[in-house]
Amino acid sequence: MTIRNAEVLVTSPGRNFVTLRITTDDGVVGLGDATVNGRELATAAYLSEHVVPLLIGKDEHNIEDMWQFLYRGAYWRRGPITMAAIAAVDVALWDIKAKIAGLPLYQLLGGASRVGALAYGHASGSDNDALFSSIRNHLDQGFKAIRIQTGVPGLGQIYGVATDQRPGERYDYEPAKRLPLPAEETWDTRAYLRHIPSVFAAVREEFGPELILLHDGHHRMTPNQAASLGKSLEPYDLFWLEDCTPGENQEGLRRVRSQTTTPLAIGEVFNSVFDYQTLITEQLIDYVRSAVTHTGGVTALKKLMDFAAIYQIKSGFHGPTDISPVGQAAQLHLGMAIHNFGIQEYMKHSPETLEVFQTSYTFENGLLHPGNNPGLGVDYNEELAASYGYTTAYLPVNRLLDGTVHDW
Ligand code: GCO
Ligand code: MG
């Protein structure tokens, strides 16, 4: 009943991942994800230098106590690096507990509240033709909900828009340029605001009213601009408008909320329940975008979702490819169990990634299911992982037409 070993594993099968592997004295192994895109080695060092020594010899069953020990004991609270490190420990311990119980994790969180988790994929294109073919591709795969990102006339490559796919070409698993030094892109919010409503009009015209559509504003607008976009998108019945303004300014959301009924989702860069306090109690958002990996694990995100439930706010957990299959599996188990599940982002991992992380989750008819293997249902192929060395990869930076740095 004690933790014998904890190892920090860094691998780059297509992109960088940081994994914590905890082993008990009985030989039970648990995995946790601590990947922070573009700052991976910071979490790896936080874990190996400051957390791993605290784990050895502790009772693996006391998950809540371990969480409080790492959170309160560090004195320095919150922040993405600390909370991802705590998440990795938390998820690995839940994996172990569920394996010892012989049950898939969602059974320990209350059991299944649904047959599967509605998932949304990412369609994008530099123009409407490319976008439509990306949407058709997602429909062929069975997606019932699709995020739409598009190029803007006059601007070059922008974040969130994949390189246009031609038949037979490899899918772009991360439509952000990740380079040894940050790529610099150009942004113009006025051009974006002029263009985007016409794209949604064209998509509705082509694909009809039933398809669930989402859009990510990626923190690029002011509250006033976001309110105007929300209003102009109302006729197209979006499932949500995500990160319409920078989340740090919670009061800004009051302005947006009072002007539009387009549902709002926020929180992928948040890392604790406190970041949501105003947004939840004043019902300024409809969906919580946090990931298990960046919010202190299953323990913390479950509490956050229970708090949100009181206000009829639902989940929309962050699931891009920089959340490892371990993190994605953990939030799928949580999403199966909570009553206020909304939707799950599902950007497929590359074949290389899925050879290193062997998962038991399935995607069928638009729904994800975590599978019924004991624990999280993810195995780590260490030998293969070791053949993919860490590669420095920065996210891009956005500049306005006059060169001013802007949110990307
Ligand atoms: C989303 C996103 C992501 C992030 C990425 C940063 O999926 O909604 O905004 O793609 O940009 O995860 O690391
Ligand atoms: Mg986003």
Given a contact cutoff of 8 angstroms between Cβ atoms, the answer to whether 334 and 307 are in contact is no
311 pLDDT higher than 70: yes
37 ligand 1 Cβ < 6 A: yes
CA-based R_g, the chain, Å: 21
DSSP class of residue 405? E
Q: Are 173 and 349 in contact (CB under 8 A)?
A: yes
The dotted CATH code for 108-375 is 3.20.20.120
Active site residue 349: no
Q: What is the rounded distance in angstroms from the CA atom of residue 45 to the CA atom of residue 81?
A: 10
Residue 169 banded pLDDT, cuts 50, 70, 90: low
Contacts of 374 by beta carbon, 8 Å cutoff, 6+ apart: 98, 99, 101, 102, 103, 104
Residue positions counted in the chain = 408
* Stretch 186-196: mean pLDDT: 96
- DSSP letters along 235-266, please? GG--SEEE--S-TT-TTHHHHHHHH--S-EEE
Does residue 209 carry a pLDDT above 80? yes
pTM value surpassing 0.95: yes
Q: Classify 178 as helix, strand or coil.
A: coil
Average pLDDT over residues 199-224: 98
pLDDT for 406: 96
Taking residues 8-20, what's their average pLDDT? 97
* Distance (Å) from CA 203 to ligand 2 centroid: 20
- Give the pLDDT of residue 176: 73
Interhelix angle 223-233/252-259, nearest 10 degrees: 20
d(CA 291, CA 321): 12
Give the per-residue pLDDT at 168: 58
| Domain covering 3-104: architecture | 2-Layer Sandwich (3.30)
Q: Any idea where the domains of the chain sit in the sequence?
A: 3-104, 108-375
List, for residues 264-291, the tens digit of each pLDDT value: 999 999 999 999 999 999 999 999 999 9
For ligand 1, atom 1, name the residue with the nearest CA. 320
345 lines ligand 1 (CB under 6 A): yes
CA dist 345 and 107 (Å) reads 22
Q: Is 159 a catalytic residue?
A: yes
